[in-house]
Structure 1
Amino acid sequence: MNKLPALMSVAGLLLWPTWPAQAQGLGVASLGAVGGLNIPSAYVLGKGDAVVSIGNEDPNLGTAYNHQRNYLAGFGLGGGVELFGRLNHNQNLPNPRPDSAELIGGDLSASLKWQLPIEARGLPKLALGLTDYGGEAAVYFRSIYAVASDELGPLRWSLGYARSKQSVVRKAGRVLDGVFGGAELRLWDTRATLLAETDGTRRHAGLRYYSPVLPWLGDAQVIGTVQRSFGSVIPQSNTNSVNLALVVPLQTDDATRTQRSRSAAKAQPPLPALAAASNTPSAERLATLYSALRSAGLDRVRVGTIADDLVVEYENQRYLHNELDAMGIVLGLAAEHAPVNSRRLHVITRKAGLVVSETSVSVPSYRAWLRDAAESSAVQATLGFSHLPGYDTSTVVWAHGNVQAVNRVRVALSPLLNYTVGTEIGLFDHSLAVQARTSVPLWTGAEVYADVVQRVDNSINMDPGRAYANLRHRNGLQTLALQQSFWLGRQTLASVGAGLYQYNTAGLEAEATVFVPGRSEDSVHLRARAVHATDSSELPGTYNASSASYRWRMNPDTWLEGGMHSYTDGSKGPALALTRWFGDVSLQMFARKGGGNSFIGLELSLPLTPRQGMGANTVALNGNPRYTLPIRTLLTSDTDRLNSQRPNAVRPVDLSYKSEVALINSGRMTPDYLSTQLPRLRESFYLYGRGLMPL
């Protein structure tokens, strides 16, 4: 076995000149990193790539469990950084007592790797990393390491050095300790590879298969691995195992968006030149534009003019992944239908009837760019954005439409999930419910809404009287409230709610977003909730809470937010959160301290609704435009070494009505963000708006 990597290297050198050109994918090591079978490599997940995997490799615990599972979730954060969460779960089956801690062992941890930003001819990729960062009482696999990797024809190799920390719970053998290394050899054009490696304590050999990219699965790739581990001093660690991974890109790159635009254009007649439609009267063009916008499913549509400028108002409740999808449709249709001599286009976005932003652009530049994506520089130079219109709206001569909503009733369905992961009691305890939110617009900025909850399922440990009974969802009317949103000057968007919250308690909610003068990308966020629940069995987050924070936008995709919180358990303390956006999916890493408790965690946020939902009608049904899935762990200390579950501790204010989501595109309505999204604007026009043009 010791000679196998060398033999693979020789074979790769001999076969290199005739080997077919085929990109080699990135596999996932069982310890939680991009790499080989068990060892990490110097490669990392690309920005916006996510991976989930499941396998049964025994991580050398020195135990005799007959059921072993490794669950991994990883994210490419960009900048050469990847982050993995890992749950190792072991159990003896059959287990007569599912809630027995004596028969279950587990380890919940995080791993981090950074690929050094060094690019030099002939120099391999270099990376530093750590594995199993978690609670002090359950350290099974902690290592720090440095590794180098490179490719030579069909051969990919890695060589590194690690120092490990032995388990403080079980005196098991060390994992990833000392010199480690391995190789992966592509087997012709079969999409399969052969792997051999040592992690410093054991040796491993295996076979891996990379599927093609699967467009029907969101351009995901499936990776399957079988392996044999041997050479351990612990006999039960010398086993066969399998692993299955799914790699999913969370964001769509600009090249793909351009290709989608071209594909959609091929199914339509070419966009006519401006001269071909120059004889159409302006009034007729405005009427056609109004009809096209209504056919696109938009609400509160109005079209008018100010001298030679075209003005369009709309409200979007259909394209809920991102407001830019609706904006791209409006900009494209308006630029194409604008009167021939139109100089500039102004698009006003409303939410709940309230004006929230203005986007403007040169009409000729935008028309030219729709025909040729290479003309984007002229659009960039003329593109403007502000949170409120920069002109007197009373000077607009409106030709068609009104501000009354066509959509009178909206119903949004959303899952509710309370859960615990990797505890001594169980692998995954959960309570799943469905929330139906029915909302009705009233006057400008006002809407009334009701939330009804129906529990779907829960694990046995969330039954009444069991360990996590307070996390079990309740059925019934959860919320009935009136929400009023309004502007305080030009910099502050406020939203206040009053009604019944948490099933039976009157309360108040308030949120204000203050756009910092001179730095419109940055914002101050104030949130407060006064809902005093006396029932101790209520879900977390039912008590008075507030927060004040400052959000610094490092760039359009990266936010750093810090502030002070008064948490729902009565404790107070600071919090810091780093948010990365990958298209319409965001990943937040946070740290919160309240009293004597400190937590770190992750929060995944994504839309759970079609990209194009139901259009404006009397009644519309959609999903949740921003669903969040958090996971956190208690940081241990010298005085508190038990990483226990404390579901009610250090919970920040959680508003029922999130005005940032409902009104300002989940915080993504800023000039810097808009300037980076031209490919998406063009894509949405060709996918959803181009077919509505009768020209």
Structure 2
Amino acid sequence: MNPNKHHVFALTAALVSCSASAVDTTMTQAGYTGLGITPNARLLDWGRFEFAYDNQLPGAQPSTHGSNYVAGFGMFPNFEFSGRLAANSNPDNCFVNVCHGVRDLSASGKFAIGIDARNRFRLGLGATDVGGAATNFRSYYGVLTFDAGSYEASAGLAKRSTSGGNRPRSPLDGPFASAAWQPLPWVRGQLEYTDGSSFAGVRLFAPKQWLPEGWSAYIGANLALNDTKFTERNWWSAGVSIPLYKVPSLPAAGAQAPAPALADAQKPLPVYEARTLPAPAAPTPNGGASVPAQRAAEPLPPAQPIGNERLEALAQALRAKGLEDISVGRMADGSIAIRANNATYNWNSADAIGAALGAVARELGDDRVAYRLVITQRQLPLVAVTGQADCLRQWIQGTNTCAGGELSTPGTMALDRLEEGANWVVSGLQPSWKTLRISLSPVLRTTVGTEVGVLDYSAGINVGFRQPLWPGADFEWRVQQELAHSNDFGSGGLLESRAIRNGTERLAFTQTVRVPLERWFAPGDDLAIRRWGLAAVTAQGTVGRVGNHFDGVYGALRWEPGDGRHRVNLQGGVFDNADYHAVPNEPKSARPLLLGYRYNVAPTRTYLEATGGQFMNNDRGLQLGVRQWFSDVAVQLYWRRTQVSSLTRSFAGIEFSIPIGPRKDMNPSELQLTGTPRFSHAVESLIGGSNNAVVTGRGVQPPTPTLEAMHNSDRASLLYFEDNIRRIRDAAR
């Protein structure tokens, strides 16, 4: 036998004898999961984000050389969404220099399902280059994939929307096919065919131990096997994939158990990972949600009296956990009343609930005594837990034989009534008005994929000083400073007027109150209060300067009845522009008036949102959005159409929202330094036009404090806390 053939045979036999590795999913240059050029019927896992780069624009004319950026999201269990930016040249301003080639910002989507019990056959339907001003690479396709573990084969049919000539077009047209083999976890080989062109490629994956848990990264090489006008002979690719639902551990938290093994076709759910804990129980008939229990509680003997020194120790334990405005006392029935304000667990109020319950269990868990815990935000009741202290401790330890507690929110009852008549032993420990809050937040303004440039930016920092005054009231001063910018945002640049403005961004007084409708319309009628959500109405008013140069007043109402499936909000204001003409499209006098609605699709943690009316810059219209939550990260797809002065514009975009800073901020004292509970940034494109010109100032929300921020980023419902029972228990440990 020829020695070279012998070596090839030996290598092939060695690879085949290795334990098979499933073919890894990667994004392609076109914005769908697949191999190099063609799609398959697989999807980005639900709750994952992937960024991919190619130094090639397949199908571009007159040159395919350039930069191709793709950001993909596993939005839903059977749907992926991606944004693509394809550009032959990155920095050129097409209004100054002639831009040759393409600069295309677009979106793509794919829907796929398994069609057999073993999930080896999958069927997918998708479209590329949807939206945007130009449609250079639009194609519609259907694909069938057979998955045999380390082998994968796909075949499908596609139809592109642009024809031949010298126009850019998608390489995906007519019948296409592909095959991949991944004999080892770190290498994948692939072959593809589409529209008369054949390609080969390889992907090399980083070892998992090199990366944070759940991440993956790869580099790849691609080769055209025949002469083709779609690509150059060879090019390279790279990508990184990140799970959006991973949450860092709280300080002093115990080690997490390893992730449980998954079945062959099973994927991890994109939720908070409390790995060894049971699922939350179903809601109780009276509108609360029981903490999971193995069996019903047994009859308990009368509660033993708890001395004042133990109640004082409990208050100190709550203080050590970073809570404030702490009150601990006794009710007439012998139960222990506990009230504490959260200003430290700003990523998620569920962590504050858990921290407080852990303190209660450690200090009172030796006795069979009832407790009533109310957690407040800005001193207004947010959520309550009632139960038995000894059962609570068992539940936290995972050895419970009785229910550890019951959750309630303002949508199901008036939480203040739980502690009416309490005899407080400790009252107002660690008062919030004695703490000055200092927050650090990034500020970012961008334009993406426009005739001005591929990416232009103005980046800076916002430093906020907030002084709580009395329940629900605070005074806030926020100052921002630009730190860096691209040329177009600089002095004399086309986007200079949109750059971050240095100086005072907000100087305002805000008062938030709960509107006691239950006292006015249904005093003492618990059934009516729960049915109509009369205790779930919150109002907020702001007066002062906001948005750098708008002076005026603002008001908002929020109603979230029942278990929180529905939420309605109304907001409006009157503002005068103290620096009129400084920013294009900003009015001399702003009169925003907006009505909003949100529906919570609880099984998938999806919010369906609608906002309509008159926006901050007096344009009138409607915005519709779908917001998907992955633990503390949110991704929203939205469409907006507004009109001003008979000129109507439509936009489509994606917003990415994350917390920045530690999961638990420093404990309050005279000063408290905090991070950013919610940093959001959107990329949108004008749709229905002939270009992607920079159009600003449409659909702007009033730049004021919001009620949603006070309500745990609109995650303060019974449905939400019930769904996060395991996170609450983790934080209690």
Q: TM-score range by the shorter chain?
A: 0.7 to 0.9
| Matches of 1:169 and 1:585, distance apart in 2 | 44
The answer to whether the 8 A contact 1:286-1:303 is kept is yes
Q: 1:65 to 1:46 in 2, by over 3 A?
A: closer
Q: What is the one-letter code of the residue matched to 1:666?
A: S
| Matches of 1:130 and 1:343, distance apart in 2 | 60
Displacement of 1:232 in angstroms is 4.6
Partner of 1:666, secondary structure, is coil
Q: What is the one-letter code of the residue matched to 1:120?
A: A
Displacement of 1:98 in angstroms is 9.8
The answer to whether the 8 A contact 1:439-1:447 is kept is yes
Q: Which string of whole-angstrom CA distances, capped at 9 and with x for unpartnered residues, describes residues 398-437 of structure 1?
A: 2224163265210111111111001122110111121111
The partner residue of 1:76 within 67, 74, 77 is 74
Q: What is the one-letter code of the residue matched to 2:568?
A: V
Percent identity of equivalent pairs = 25
The answer to whether the 8 A contact 1:302-1:401 is kept is yes
Q: 1:358 to 1:540 in 2, by over 3 A?
A: farther
Q: What is the one-letter code of the residue matched to 2:466?
A: S
The answer to whether the 8 A contact 2:21-2:185 is kept is no
Q: 1:646 to 1:254 in 2, by over 3 A?
A: closer
| Matches of 1:82 and 1:255, distance apart in 2 | 17
Q: How does 1:445-484 map to 2 (within 5 A)?
A: 445-484=472-511
The partner residue of 1:359 within 381, 385, 391 is 385
Q: Which residue of 2 aligns with 1:3?
A: none
Q: 1:221 to 1:16 in 2, by over 3 A?
A: closer
| Matches of 2:304 and 2:608, distance apart in 1 | 53
Q: How does 1:576-595 map to 2 (within 5 A)?
A: 576-595=624-643
Partner of 1:108, secondary structure, is strand
| Matches of 1:524 and 1:221, distance apart in 2 | 40
The partner residue of 2:124 within 122, 127, 131 is 127
Q: Which residue of 2 aligns with 1:194?
A: 189
Q: 1:669 to 1:117 in 2, by over 3 A?
A: farther
Partner of 2:43, secondary structure, is coil
* Unmatched segments (≥5 aa) in structure 1: 1-7, 263-274, 687-695
Moved more, 160-169 or 437-446: 160-169
Q: What is the one-letter code of the residue matched to 1:178?
A: G
The answer to whether the 8 A contact 2:272-2:727 is kept is no
Q: Which string of whole-angstrom CA distances, capped at 9 and with x for unpartnered residues, describes residues 181-212 of structure 1?
A: 1111113x351111111233432211112224
| Matches of 1:488 and 1:281, distance apart in 2 | 35
Q: Which residue of 1 aligns with 2:729?
A: 682
Moved more, 14-23 or 146-155: 14-23
Q: How does 1:137-148 map to 2 (within 5 A)?
A: 138-148=134-144
Q: TM-score, normalised by structure 2?
A: 0.82
| Matches of 2:367 and 2:352, distance apart in 1 | 25
Partner of 1:294, secondary structure, is helix
Displacement of 1:441 in angstroms is 0.4
| Matches of 1:676 and 1:15, distance apart in 2 | 48
Q: 1:43 to 1:684 in 2, by over 3 A?
A: same
Q: 1:223 to 1:18 in 2, by over 3 A?
A: same
The partner residue of 2:322 within 288, 297, 304 is 297
Displacement of 1:619 in angstroms is 0.6
| Matches of 1:538 and 1:106, distance apart in 2 | 27
The partner residue of 2:693 within 634, 637, 644 is 644
Q: Which string of whole-angstrom CA distances, capped at 9 and with x for unpartnered residues, describes residues 279-304 of structure 1?
A: 99643432322222111122112222
RMSD between aligned residues = 3.2
Partner of 1:656, secondary structure, is coil
Q: What is the one-letter code of the residue matched to 1:659?
A: L
| Matches of 1:225 and 1:190, distance apart in 2 | 14
Q: How does 1:241-320 map to 2 (within 5 A)?
A: 241-252=235-246, 257-259=273-275, 282-306=307-331, 307-320=333-346
For the pair 1:156 / 2:152, whether they are aligned, the reply is yes
Q: What is the one-letter code of the residue matched to 1:240?
A: N
Partner of 1:257, secondary structure, is coil
Q: Which residue of 2 aligns with 1:90?
A: 88
Q: What is the one-letter code of the residue matched to 2:596?
A: S
Displacement of 1:390 in angstroms is 5.7
Q: 1:31 to 1:352 in 2, by over 3 A?
A: same
Displacement of 1:476 in angstroms is 0.8
The answer to whether the 8 A contact 1:138-1:168 is kept is no
Q: How does 1:327-346 map to 2 (within 5 A)?
A: 327-338=353-364, 340-346=366-372
Moved more, 396-405 or 573-582: 396-405
Q: Which residue of 2 aligns with 1:498?
A: 543
Q: 1:163 to 1:344 in 2, by over 3 A?
A: farther
Q: Which residue of 2 aligns with 1:555?
A: 602
Displacement of 1:530 in angstroms is 2.2
| Matches of 1:61 and 1:394, distance apart in 2 | 71
Q: Which string of whole-angstrom CA distances, capped at 9 and with x for unpartnered residues, describes residues 449-506 of structure 1?
A: 0110111111111234432222111111121100000011223111110012233442
For the pair 1:384 / 2:408, whether they are aligned, the reply is yes
* Unmatched segments (≥5 aa) in structure 2: 1-7, 247-268, 279-299, 517-534
The partner residue of 1:511 within 531, 556, 579 is 556
Partner of 1:669, secondary structure, is coil
Partner of 2:328, secondary structure, is strand
Displacement of 1:79 in angstroms is 2.5
| Matches of 1:567 and 1:86, distance apart in 2 | 29
Q: 1:392 to 1:37 in 2, by over 3 A?
A: closer
Q: 1:338 to 1:57 in 2, by over 3 A?
A: same
For the pair 1:110 / 2:107, whether they are aligned, the reply is yes
Q: Which residue of 2 aligns with 1:4?
A: none
| Matches of 1:260 and 1:644, distance apart in 2 | 52
Displacement of 1:560 in angstroms is 0.9
The answer to whether the 8 A contact 1:27-1:34 is kept is yes
| Matches of 1:251 and 1:570, distance apart in 2 | 37
The answer to whether the 8 A contact 1:143-1:176 is kept is yes
The partner residue of 1:528 within 533, 547, 572 is 572
Displacement of 1:51 in angstroms is 0.9
Q: What is the one-letter code of the residue matched to 1:257?
A: E
The answer to whether the 8 A contact 2:627-2:635 is kept is yes
Q: Which residue of 1 aligns with 2:685?
A: 633
The answer to whether the 8 A contact 2:685-2:692 is kept is yes
Q: 1:129 to 1:296 in 2, by over 3 A?
A: same
The answer to whether the 8 A contact 1:438-1:451 is kept is yes
The answer to whether the 8 A contact 1:527-1:653 is kept is no
The answer to whether the 8 A contact 1:211-1:221 is kept is yes
| Matches of 1:511 and 1:658, distance apart in 2 | 8
Q: Which residue of 2 aligns with 1:657?
A: 705
| Matches of 2:680 and 2:164, distance apart in 1 | 34
Q: Which string of whole-angstrom CA distances, capped at 9 and with x for unpartnered residues, describes residues 539-585 of structure 1?
A: 77773322102211121611112242212343212221111100000
Q: Which residue of 1 aligns with 2:45?
A: 46
Q: Which residue of 1 aligns with 2:620?
A: 572
Q: 1:91 to 1:23 in 2, by over 3 A?
A: same
Count how many residue pairs are aligned between Structure 1 and Structure 2.
651
| Matches of 2:438 and 2:459, distance apart in 1 | 19
Displacement of 1:80 in angstroms is 0.8
For the pair 1:488 / 2:515, whether they are aligned, the reply is yes
Q: Which residue of 2 aligns with 1:605?
A: 657
| Matches of 1:369 and 1:92, distance apart in 2 | 57
For the pair 1:350 / 2:376, whether they are aligned, the reply is yes
Q: 1:414 to 1:390 in 2, by over 3 A?
A: closer
Displacement of 1:122 in angstroms is 7.4
Q: Which residue of 2 aligns with 1:432?
A: 459
Q: 1:540 to 1:410 in 2, by over 3 A?
A: farther
The answer to whether the 8 A contact 1:80-1:117 is kept is no
Displacement of 1:218 in angstroms is 5.5
The answer to whether the 8 A contact 1:61-1:172 is kept is yes
